[in-house]
Amino acid sequence: MAYTTIDDPSDYFNTVLYTGTGSEQTVSGVNFQPDWTWLKSRSNGQPHVVSDSVRGATKQLYTADTQAETSYSQYVKSFNSDGFVLGTDSGINQSSQTFVSWNWKAGTSFTNDASSTGIGSIDSAGSVSTDAGFSIVTYTGTGSAATVAHGLGVAPKMIINRTISASKDWITYHASLGATKFLELNTTDAVATSSDKFNNTEPTSTVFSIESSSQNNTSGGTCLAYCFADVKGYSKFGSYTGNGNVDGTFFFTGFKPAFTIIRSTGSDKWSMFDAKRNPFNEVDNNIRANSNDAEADQSNKEVDYLSNGVKLRTSSGEWNSSGTTYIYMAFAENPFVTSTGVPATAR
């Protein structure tokens, strides 16, 4: 069996750093035309702004907020073959300030007429890469139990999901927790139990389930799901148990990470790290998905990116409290071993 089907992860995910100009500018070096771009000021307390090709580049959502989708041409104006064009808004392009962009490729448009295909109970549309295990899905809510085609061909391990036509929380499914439990991307609330989010039903290779919650299934509302599957050597969505020691837990990904989000199942924050903001170990420049705060250099709360996973170097309860369960999502800089047998090098 091949070590990986993706020898160059930057074909599908890439972090690009840039400096604001205050004037319209093109950010390049992504290596592909993004389908989902997540922007955050590093140096200032500004909102996380997410745009995607399915809804249209000029339509924004904010991961630390419940605000409904907005249309504004001065954030992301358009996507191009190697990045995106920014408008003049200070939130994403303030002169002389530093920013990070995380970018994903889906790339293949799809529509699913549920009554014709027999897949799902309501129609959906979006963009998908089955190679990279990522899809962007939109659908109209029903307010009652339904199933939605996601296009991945395998069961998703993580779904970030919400009604976007109204003010709602970001409901997050993670396979390590199961379909009865959920977290909210925009809050620090502990994992909660409810059957009205994902109908207490695990996703399948064709659909995910929703129930009566207005947070991800408002009747007549426009809803959005970012769906992710494990891809060997490229992406991993798992969990680990903290040991409360500065010689912390190691979790295996099967690749040298480029980007990770780590979250306790207790009341805590969504911590975001990447290999571009910290090109060498330790990795300690933290941005939190549920907060508009600037990047924090947390020198007492480090992690190491290794050739095959992540090693915690802290006893901090945010990432390594003894006996506490943590979930993570991770994307690769390099597979541990390429399909031709080339191993990843250490940082």
Mean pLDDT throughout 198-211? 98
**pLDDT for 3:** 81
Note the maximum CA span of the chain: 56
Give the C-alpha separation, 191 to 268, whole Å: 10
Mean pLDDT throughout 173-202? 97
Give the C-alpha separation, 200 to 124, whole Å: 21
Residue 345 has pLDDT above 60, yes or no: yes
Residue 186 has pLDDT above 70, yes or no: yes
- Phi, psi at 153, each rounded to 5°: 85, -10
Q: Which residues pair with 159 in a beta bridge?
A: 173, 227
**pLDDT for 42:** 98
pLDDT in tens, 106-162: 999 999 999 999 999 999 999 999 999 999 999 999 999 999 999 999 999 999 999
CATH of 108-228, one of 3.10.450, 2.60.40, 2.60.120, 3.90.550: 2.60.40
Q: Which residues contact 17 (CB under 8 A, 6 or more apart)?
A: 42, 98, 99, 100, 101, 276, 277
pLDDT in tens, 74-105: 999 999 999 999 999 999 999 999 999 999 99
Per-residue CA distances from 113 to 109, 110, 118, 138, 139 (Å): 14, 10, 8, 13, 11
Mean pLDDT throughout 327-343? 89
pLDDT in tens, 1-53: 468 889 999 999 999 999 999 999 999 999 999 999 999 999 999 999 999 99
Per-residue CA distances from 140 to 106, 121, 164, 264 (Å): 21, 11, 10, 31
Mean pLDDT throughout 260-265? 97
**pLDDT for 13:** 98
**pLDDT for 346:** 72
- Phi, psi at 46, each rounded to 5°: -130, 160
Give the C-alpha separation, 146 to 73, whole Å: 34
**pLDDT for 1:** 45
The structure tokens listed for 308 are 């095959």
Residue 294 has pLDDT above 70, yes or no: yes
Give the C-alpha separation, 98 to 79, whole Å: 20
pLDDT in tens, 216-259: 999 999 999 999 999 999 999 999 999 999 999 999 999 999 99
**pLDDT for 339:** 80
